[in-house]
Amino acid sequence: MMSIMPRLIVLAAERNLPAIYGYSSAANQGGLMSYSIDFFDWGRQAGGYVDRILKGARPADQPIEQAAKFLKINIKTAKALDLMIPPTLLAIADEVIE
């Protein structure tokens, strides 16, 4: 799916369609919004677990961590689509791309 993401973003823009994507990188690539965990951040978080365990920490003693960032909004794309993003939505976004 990720290999066709740039083409999907272009198709939505050509048809003036606002779209929300399931991959956090889509907003960085020009998509209007994405609602997903950042898979690279998730991998770094997993690496931290591996590092602690390899240094002798017990897996059972490791804290449970959840992804905390989900919503990205691309303001430049919103302007190109002639959309006004409500301030309340911008306020809860984890990242606003300008």
- Domain assignment present for residue 10? The answer is yes
Give the global pTM. Answer: 0.76
Range of the domain at 16: 2-39+69-97
- Comparing C-alpha atoms, which of 82, 73, 71 is closest to residue 16? 82
Q: How far apart are the C-alpha atoms of 23 and 39, rounded to whole Å?
A: 8
- Domain assignment present for residue 51? The answer is no
Question: Domain count of the chain?
Answer: 1
- CA angle 40–42–47, rounded 5-degree value: 95
- Domain assignment present for residue 46? The answer is no
pLDDT digits (tens, 9 = 90+) for 68-96: 778 999 999 999 999 999 999 999 999 99
* 45 has pLDDT over 90: no
Mean confidence (pLDDT) of the chain: 90
- Domain assignment present for residue 47? The answer is no
